[in-house]
């Protein structure tokens, strides 16, 4: 019967390989996940379209995952959803439903702050008079990995 023995050099090689395969970055990485955030939205917007004024109302859904490393870099992944937004034409009373999702990745030194434009469709159902909405968000991540999001601008393009 063959019996395998490990000498001191083999054991030392095994220990060094084990230590080196543990990444120091992953050991020093802090990760936070936001299970979902609702961003309230209630605004009247003037448009260049036949529908001159719209009242947009509802909530954007946003989810964030924030990772920061030992060097002070912050990595953020986000997903936005507009399905909970609706609109009504103030002159025509026509109803529109928002649809659209979006994702982004960003990185920078902690804390980090940037603007992000989310584009989504405002659909009038069986009508060709849909519109494209553009909402500009300010996204800020503090040193603790906490995310703050605010709406800073809204505009509408005609789809005619």
Q: For residue range 29-71, list pLDDT tens digits in order.
A: 566 666 678 999 999 999 999 899 999 999 999 999 999 888 8
Per the domain annotation, does 13 fall within a domain?
no
Total number of domains constituting the chain: 1
User: Which of the four pLDDT bands, split at 50, 70 and 90, describes residue 118?
Assistant: very high
Record the pTM: 0.76
| Tokens read off for 78 | 């986000």
Contact yes or no for 56/133 (Cβ under 8 A): yes
How many contiguous H segments (helices) and E segments (strands) does the chain have?
2, 9
Which of 23-27, 123-127, 154-158 shows the lowest per-residue confidence on average (mean pLDDT)? 23-27
Per the domain annotation, does 89 fall within a domain?
yes
Residues 32, 75: Cα–Cα separation, whole Å: 10
Q: Taking the CB of residue 66, how many other CB atoms lie within 10 A of it?
A: 22
Segments in the chain forming alpha helices (H)? 8-21, 24-27
Per the domain annotation, does 3 fall within a domain?
no
Per the domain annotation, does 129 fall within a domain?
yes
Per the domain annotation, does 18 fall within a domain?
no
Per the domain annotation, does 49 fall within a domain?
yes
Per the domain annotation, does 20 fall within a domain?
no
CA-only gyration radius of the chain, Å: 25
Domain that holds residue 75: 29-158
The H or E element spanning position 149 is strand 147-158
């Amino acid at each position: 019967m063959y019996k395998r023995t490990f000498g001191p050099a083999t054991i030392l090689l095994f220990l060094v390989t084990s230590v080196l395969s543990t990444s120091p970055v992953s050991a020093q990485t802090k990760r936070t996940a936001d299970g979902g955030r609702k961003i309230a939205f209630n605004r009247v917007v003037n448009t260049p379209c036949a529908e001159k004024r719209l009242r947009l109302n509802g909530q954007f859904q946003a989810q964030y995952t924030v990772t920061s490393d030992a060097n002070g870099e912050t990595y953020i992944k986000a997903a936005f959803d507009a399905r909970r937004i609706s609109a009504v034409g103030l002159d025509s009373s026509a109803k529109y439903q928002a649809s659209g999702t979006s994702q982004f990745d960003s990185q920078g030194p902690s804390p980090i702050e940037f603007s992000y434009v989310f584009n989504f469709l405002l659909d009038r159902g069986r009508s060709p008079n849909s519109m494209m909405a553009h909402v500009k968000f300010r996204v800020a991540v503090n040193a603790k990995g906490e995310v703050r999001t605010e709406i800073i601008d809204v505009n509408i393009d005609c789809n005619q």
